[in-house]
Every structure is written in C-alpha cells, then in structure tokens.
Structure 1
Amino acid sequence: MTFIADWQEWTREREAKLADPHGFLAITGLHWLEEAPQRFDDAPGAWSTGPGGVSVELGEGETILVDDEKHSGRYSFGVLPERASVFATWGDAVIEVAKRGGHDIVRPRHPHHDILRAYDGTPRYEPDERWVVPATYRAFETPRPVTVGAAVEGLEHVYDAPGELTFEIDGQALTLTAFEGHAPGTLTVLFTDATSGVTTYAANRSLQVPAPGADGSVVLDFNRAANLPCAYTPLATCPLPPPENRLPVAIEAGEKKGKTLP
C-alpha cells in the first residue's frame, strides 16, 4: 500500500469503529455499582457488587444473553480484573460490565442513542509524511507503575510503563513515556501537544506504536494520533497523559476535536 492509501484504510477502520451500533458512542449511562442493589433506566435487573464481584438480579420476564447463553433470575459476572469488560445482550442493547480505576461499573450501549445517531464523522489533518518520525525505544530495567488521572473527576488509573521513546521534531529533542500496547510487544502513548484545546481534543490523544526492533528503533506515525472515547461522550473513563507526555510542540497530524454532545 502507498502511504496515502494506508492512511485512508486506517481512517475507514476508525470511522467504522466510531459508528459501531454498540460502540462507545452508544453508551447511555455510566453507573457506579455498590453493595446495595440498584436498578437503572437503561439496563435490566438490579445490579450490585461485593467480594464475589458483580451480580444482577433479573426481574420477572427479564433475560440477558452472555456468551450466547440466556440467563434469568440471578446472574454473577464474578470478580473482574482492572480494565476488563464483559458484555451481555439485552434486546437490541449491549450491557457492558467493567472495572475502571478499581470500581465496578455498568455502561449500557443502545444503538438508537442520540450521540451515536448525531455522529457524522471526525475531522482529521491531511496525511503528511513529515509526521512519520523515527524514534528510539529505551526499556526500563523493570516496568514502572505510573498513576494518571482520568476524564472522570476523582478517578485514577495505574499503568505499567515498560520504557520511553525519544525522538526529534524540528530539531527539538522530545521524550514520551510508553505504556503496554494491545498486542504483545507493541506500545501505547498518551499525549497532548500545542494543538490540544485549539484544533485537537484538549485532554488527550493516543498513538499505537509497533513493536520496536532489537536495537530499539521504531517509527511514530502521528498521522494516526487518535481521539479517546472521552472526546465524544462524557460517559467515558479515559486516562489522561502523564505530565511528561505534554509536548511543547504542535503535532498538526491525526484526529482533530471530536463532536461531544451534551
């Protein structure tokens, strides 16, 4: 693929994910679970959490599907690890059960939600090979736990940082703390820059980084700097970048401000 065609394919995949009928734009509520059972307008049953994890007591006529199995009455999701999500189907909705910042939450996702129906695409900078930047990865002797804030006030996330990335833009030396990526060996970077709050989302953007070579060489393609869910919905618990990842330069590449709706 050419550089432009590859970027266009990435863009198509991003837009398909954003328009997913059960994606994060379909979230209708962010419910924090307690030991006392609670019912919510956008989910079935009464939900609670405790030492045994999350459970729901479904009312008469209420059923959910978990892993294609129908359940009624009381159902236990068990103890979820941090950043895990389990999904249950309820009619045309999907109920996400998750743990974020040490708290169990329920986030229903409805395909007819106003934010999803109003979504008409994310603006982006035009792709430019200037923003494909060579970098060097330096692994720490042991991964460092890094505590960062979140889009939700009072919530904190802890990530293991296996190392850092160094690179230059316009002759200026820069460094980013990297977190573990989605695939083994890959990395994720959370950052802000001089465009944040001007043309790009103020709180954060993310960049997926391929596995570095044996010599630490790797490429940062800022044309693929992406918004996190909190750029579109207030019902997201996205992490904020660590202080050292607030870059003093303008990264005029990647996704611009999302269209967050009240």
Structure 2
Amino acid sequence: MIPLAFLVLALPSHQDAQYAESLLKWRKEVEESLKNEGGWLSVAGLDWLKEGENDVRLPSGLGPESAGTVTFRNGNARLKVAAGVAAEVDGKPVTEVDLKPDIGGKPTKVKMGDATLTLIKRGKRTGIRLYNPRSRGRRDFRGLTWFEPNLAYRVRARSRPGLVFFNFKDTSNGKATYLAGRFLDTEKPKDGFVILDFNKAYNPPCAFTSYATCPLAPEANSLKIAIPAGEKNYHLD
C-alpha cells in the first residue's frame, strides 16, 4: 500500500449543479452495488482452505448441508459436488469443476440452491466465500448515509505516479465514520496531480460483513483532522 502523501492545492470552489448531480448518481451506484445478489450485503461466510480435501457445508435452509468437497493442492482448487446435489456454473449443471479465483480474471461462481460459492485469494491464503441472497444484512438494509457535499473536501493534490486508490483514517473514525477508516478512488494522476474528492470516500467491505478481508490504512495515511465528507458509519441495527 502506498502512503497518502500529498500537498493540497487550491481548486476552484464554485458550486456546480452538474457536479452535485453526478455525485448523487455515484452514491446511488455504490448503494446498488451493495444491494445486489453479488454485493457485500450478501456475503455470509468465508472458509479458508487447507491443503488436501475440504468439506463444503452450507447453512441450514440455504442449500444441502453436505454439498461436496474442495480439493486444494499447490494453489489449485477443484470442487466435487456431493451425490444428489444440484450445482450450476454459468447456468450449466456441473458435478466437478476447477475453481478460478477472484484475481486476474473472472472467478468461477458455483450456485447450489440459494447459495453461491466463489474462490478468493488473499496473500498466501485461499478460501471459499459464500453469498446468501436472503442474508440478514441484505434483508434489513435501510440505505447508506452520507455527509452533505462540500467542495472544500474536493482538492487537487500532488501525487506519485500510478496512485488510483487510497485507504485512510481520520479523527472522525469510530464516531461519525467507520472505525477502521475509509477508501477513496481517484482518476489516474495527470502531470503529477490528482483530484481527491473526499465527498466520494466510502466504507470498506468490512463495514458490512465480518466475512470480508480489508487492508488497514498505513500510518502515513492517518490524518490528524476530521474529514466530515463522504460516507458515514453504517449501523445494521
């Protein structure tokens, strides 16, 4: 992770109706991505694989309890579906399938009953992630909350080449905003500068499910001020 090291410069700060409209559209897209069947609100399980054979078990009411096995060897995973269990990949029935992970391309998505399974790789670990479209998080979702747009938090910053993502902390964390910090995407730097729009700061997946893996902000990205812009803390209850 590259530290958030920048020099804030002045940016023309006239209120722009087109900007406000585009920001609202972006925020709605963030919410829709959470709510869909493959969104973070649907993530309901994560089992890390050990070398060799691993049982695949689904929660009661979601699909068959004993759904099959995943054989994991030398970084490769192959699913063998249990006898009598219906499984599909891309709408086609399967009994055995090699699982492609979620890095470097499109992951294999295996549907069993109402559950969907995918393979994830995080560092040296490989795991099976479970999606449940009837999860409590998705069922009880009441929407995201945001700070009012403020152009004072849309700044031009000096950046290192190639920086397009920051994770940062500020003194609002654990109160108005998520405890572990927030994420911020940018466009590619141009002439050594980027636009940091903290109105688009958003919560990491770990704010919505305990089955996500989220990088922590480096010490250099721990800001000693509050950033009352972007997404607020999320509370399910």
Give the shorter-chain TM-score range: 0.7 to 0.9
Equivalent residue letter for 1:5: E
Cα displacement (A) at 1:86? 3.2
C-alpha displacement at 1:194, in angstroms?
A: 1.0
* 1:15-73 alpha-carbon deviations (Å, 9 max, x no partner): 1111112211111211111123213224632223111611111111223322343211x
> Partner residue of 1:24?
40
Per the alignment, residue 167 of structure 2 pairs with 190
Q: Is the 8 A contact 1:125 1:256 kept in 2?
A: yes
Equivalent runs, 1:131-142 vs 2, <5 Å: 131-139=153-161
Equivalent-residue separation in structure 1 for 2:110 and 2:179 (angstroms): 33
Distance 1:246 1:31, change over 3 A: same
CA distance in 2, matches of 1:24, 1:86: 17
Q: Deviation at 1:219? A: 0.8
* Mapped contact 2:53–2:69 kept (Cα < 8 A): no
Match of 1:111 among 126, 133, 141: 133
Counterpart CA distance in 2 for 1:80 and 1:251 is 32
Alignment of 1:1-262 (within 5 A): 2-34=18-50, 35-42=52-59, 44-51=67-74, 53-72=76-95, 74-77=96-99, 81=103, 85-139=107-161, 162=162, 178=163, 187-213=164-190, 215-260=191-236
Unaligned segments of structure 1, at least 5 residues: 140-161, 163-177, 179-186
- Report the CA distance between 1:115 and its aligned residue: 1.4
1:93 deviation in Å? 2.8
Tell me if structure 1 keeps the 8 A contact 2:86–2:93. Answer: yes
Is the contact made by 2:200 and 2:230 (CA closer than 8 Å) also made in structure 1?
yes
What is the CA distance between 1:87 and its match in structure 2? 2.0
CA distance in 2 between partners of 1:195 and 1:96 (Å): 35
Q: % of aligned pairs identical?
A: 31
* Cα-Cα RMSD: 2.2
More strand by share: 1
Residues 109, 116 of structure 2: 8 Å contact kept: yes
Q: Retained in 2: the 8 A contact 1:136–1:218?
A: yes
Runs of 5+ unmatched residues, structure 2: 1-16
Task: Output the CA distance in 1 between the equivalents of 2:36 and 2:176.
Answer: 25
Letter in 1 for 2:118: E
By relative contact order (CA 8 Å, sep 6+), the higher-ranking structure is 2
Q: In structure 2, what residue type is equivalent to 1:217?
A: F
CA contact (8 A) 2:101 2:108 kept: no
User: Is this contact kept in 1: 2:120–2:128, CA < 8 A?
Assistant: yes
Q: Would you say the 8 A contact 1:46–1:57 is kept in 2?
A: yes
Alpha-carbon distance between aligned partners in 2 of 1:52 and 1:239, rounded to the nearest angstrom: 22
Change (3 A) 1:255 1:83: farther
Instruction: Give aligned pairs, total.
Output: 214
Structure-2 change in CA distance of 1:201 and 1:125 (3 Å) = same
TM-score normalised according to structure 1 size: 0.75
Mark the CA change 1:41 to 1:79 in structure 2 (over 3 Å): closer, same or farther.
closer
What is the CA-CA distance between 1:138 and the residue it aligns to?
2.5
- 2:4 match: none
Checking the alignment, whether the CA contact within 8 Å between 1:22 and 1:93 is kept in structure 2 is no
Q: Which one is further off, 9-18 or 35-44?
A: 35-44
Alpha-carbon spacing, 1:8–1:52, altered in 2? closer, same or farther (3 Å): closer
1:171 equivalent in structure 2:
none
> Closer, same or farther in 2 for the Cα pair 1:85/1:242, shift >3 Å?
farther
